[in-house]
Amino acid sequence: METTQDFSSQKFPKQERLTSKKTIEELFSKGSSVFVYPFRLLYLPKPFGSSHLPSHPQVLFSVSKKHFKKAVDRNLIKRRMREAYRLNKRELLQAIPTHQLPASVALIYIAKEKIDFATLQKKLKTIWLRLVNNA
C-alpha cells in the first residue's frame, strides 16, 4: 500500500507546467538540446545562485502540427507524453542532483507516426539519462 506522500509525488500540478511565453521564447532561443528518437529535449539550467526557484523543473510538451494535422492525434500523443513523465517523474528527478536540475524543459515529439505508450515511456527515460550526462 502506498503512502500519501508517494501518491502525491506522482501528480503533475499546474506549477510544474511551462506556460510563460517569455520563458518559452528564452528556452527555444538560448536552451541546450538533447536528442533521442522520437524526442528532442530542450532545457535551460537554473541561473547560478537561484535558490528561490521551485524544486521541480517546469515542463512543456509539444507535438508538430506539420506531422499530425488532426488535433485529436496531437492531443493523444501529448497525453501519452505527460502520463509517461508523470509516472516516472520521481525516478527522473532523482537521477539529477537538486542543484543541477534544469529550470525549464521542453519535450518535443519529432516522429512522423504515433508510437505506443510503452516505447514512449522507455525513450523518455533514455533522453532524461542523456540530459543527466550532458548537465
Residue ranges of alpha helices (H) inside the chain are: 4-8, 21-30, 71-94, 117-134
| C-beta of residue 90 within 8 angstroms of C-beta of residue 8 | no
| C-beta of residue 62 within 8 angstroms of C-beta of residue 106 | yes
- CA–CA separation, 62 vs 40, rounded Å? 10
CATH topology for the 17-134 domain: Ribosomal Protein S5; domain 2 (3.30.230)
Per-residue pLDDT of the chain (135 residues; tens, 9 = 90+): 444 444 556 788 888 899 999 999 999 999 999 999 999 999 998 776 555 556 788 999 999 999 999 999 999 999 999 999 999 888 888 888 777 788 899 999 999 999 999 999 999 999 988 988 876
Q: What is the pTM of this model?
A: 0.84
Per residue in 4-31, pLDDT tens? 444 556 788 888 899 999 999 999 999 9
- CA–CA separation, 135 vs 131, rounded Å? 6
Domain boundaries, given as residue ranges, for the chain: 17-134
Strand partners, 28: none
Q: Which of 90, 86, 105, 91 is nearest to 45 (CA)?
A: 105
